[in-house]
Amino acid sequence: MEVEQQNLNIQTTQNSRLSEIDWENLLFGKIFSDHMFCMEYVNGEWTKQKITPYENISLSPATSAIHYGQSCFEGMKAHRNEKGEVVLFRPYDNAKRFNQSAIRMCMPTIAEDLFVNALKELLKVDHNWVPKNPSHSLYIRPFMFATDPYVGIRPSESYRFMVFTCPVGSYYSEPIPVKIETTYTRAASGGTGYAKAAGNYAAALYPAKLAQDEGYKQLIWTDAKEHKYIEEAGTMNVMFVMDGKLVTPLVSDTILDGITRRSVVDIANDWGMQVECRKVEVAEVINALKNNTLTEAFGAGTAATIAPISSIAFGNDNYMIPPSSQNHFHVKVLNYLNDYKLGRVEDKFNWLVHI
Ligand SMILES: *Cc1c(COP(=O)(O)O)cnc(C)c1O
């Protein structure tokens, strides 16, 4: 079926794959919903907005994004609330951050309303792909890349913006063992660490693989200059409860400004908990682990929401963290965030956008 709506052309599929999905075993990032959104940047404006069946795309081998990495993305989720409605969690925050990434990568920005509308229209077409199981959700991947077929380093003149979605279950099934990285670096001051730029993640693969070979699930990055301060994990911000206070590194140009982190900080403040967003020294965390004043450590990010950390390795030592229990802050905040997205509690922060 083909519909023309303002500037958006919608072609829906005749062969939905919905009935083939094993909803109880959703492999993260491997199942793609029926449709995708696409638009093209030419002559200084976004054109040719369309929703089509999810399909392969054809590109010139000289496509500049493939060679020089002018590419950035976002990651967010839609949930089906208790009334059966589909809601997006803080999508304007993702739109803003997408534009910050785009500016840093010398790419065009997208009006926030255009960005959010693209998601809404796509989700309207694929609303049946938003899982009914309250612990599952629809992961949304908006992304943009340079499309000039040109060998030479300069900002591309043409770009493509696309969105596809994946129904997903939980990301980590268990608390994760992590290692504090003091050799390799994810981001340096003045660099691109705060942007969701494709190349950042490629550069992190090798150190992460070395850590995985040693049995760790994730790295905790430290600052590039002295390896003295805690930064963040691979795709999550890190947070600690020390002396009953929520402590997390202050975001900077080397730390991605996570929306989950921001939400957890807002909730902690609202609950009257003491919150410290500041530089966090590795030595402080190690001392707190040694004298048992560190009671919780967790990652915060869209994919996992809250990922409890089971142990932190530093040098030759490995420190265990007490197992999660119902009165821990990270367990309460995870339950609250889940209830929030499912519409079981009031939307007091105005974070939800209905499609
Ligand atoms: C996406 C991401 C996060 C988490 O951000 P959210 O908005 O909470 O998903 C943290 N660190 C890095 C490096 C990321 O790419």
Pocket test residue of 181, 302, 305, 341 for ligand 1, highest count of atoms within 8 A of CB: 302
CA distance 340 to 347: 7
Residue 2 has pLDDT above 80, yes or no: no
User: Are 122 and 107 spatial neighbours (Cβ–Cβ below 8 Å)?
Assistant: no
For the chain, what's the residue count?
355
State pLDDT tens for residues 291-329. Answer: 999 999 999 999 989 999 999 999 999 999 999 999 999
**Ligand 1 centre distance from Cα of residue 236 (Å):** 5
Beta bridge partners of 8: 5
Using alpha carbons, select from 229, 187, 183 the residue that is nearest to residue 210. 183
- Both 191 and 235 in one domain: the answer is yes
Q: What's the gap between Cα 6 and its chain centre?
A: 31
CA distance 18 to 31: 10
Decide if 1 is inside a domain: no
If residue 200 lies in a helix (H) or strand (E), which one and from where to where? Answer: helix 198-213
User: Are 10 and 123 spatial neighbours (Cβ–Cβ below 8 Å)?
Assistant: no
| pLDDT value at residue 82 | 94
CB under 6 Å to ligand 1: residues?
A: 75, 196, 232, 235-237, 256, 258-261, 301-302
| pLDDT value at residue 171 | 81
Tokens of 272: 């009257």
Using alpha carbons, select from 301, 284, 289 the residue that is nearest to residue 236. 301
Number of domains in the chain: 2
| pLDDT value at residue 238 | 98
Show which of 114, 140, 168 is a domain's final residue.
168
State pLDDT tens for residues 86-116. Answer: 999 999 999 999 999 999 999 999 999 999 9
Closest-CA residue, ligand 1 atom 15, reads 235
The pTM (predicted TM-score) of the whole model is 0.96
| pLDDT value at residue 321 | 96
85: containing domain: 9-168
CA distance 274 to 264: 12
In three-state secondary structure terms, 80 is: strand
Q: What's the gap between Cα 320 and its chain centre?
A: 27
CA distance 295 to 292: 7
- Both 159 and 187 in one domain: the answer is no
Decide if 49 is inside a domain: yes
Q: The domain that contains 281 carries what CATH number?
A: 3.20.10.10
Show which of 142, 168, 194 is a domain's final residue.
168
Q: How many degrees, rounded to 5, is the angle at CA 98 between CA 57 and CA 26?
A: 60
Pocket test residue of 201, 231, 256 for ligand 1, highest count of atoms within 8 A of CB: 256
